[in-house]
Amino acid sequence: MTSDFKRISFAVTPELEKSLDHMKQEFFYNETHSHMIRELLPC
């Protein structure tokens, strides 16, 4: 099975982590973290 996605990782500050956790709970509770990040990053 092939995918067009590439795997990356990045470091976040504690403040950004808190914001991402809040976004996950409020708006992306039914989605994966990966999906949330893809939606939040501009194209």
Say which residue, 25 or 1, is predicted with more confidence: 25
pLDDT(32) > 70: yes
Q: What pLDDT is recorded for position 35?
A: 94
Residue 1: what pLDDT? 56
Each residue's pLDDT tens digit, 4-31: 888 889 999 999 999 999 999 999 999 9
- The letter for the amino acid at 8 is I
pLDDT at 4: 85
Task: Evaluate if residue 43 carries a pLDDT over 70.
Answer: yes
What is the amino acid identity at position 10? F
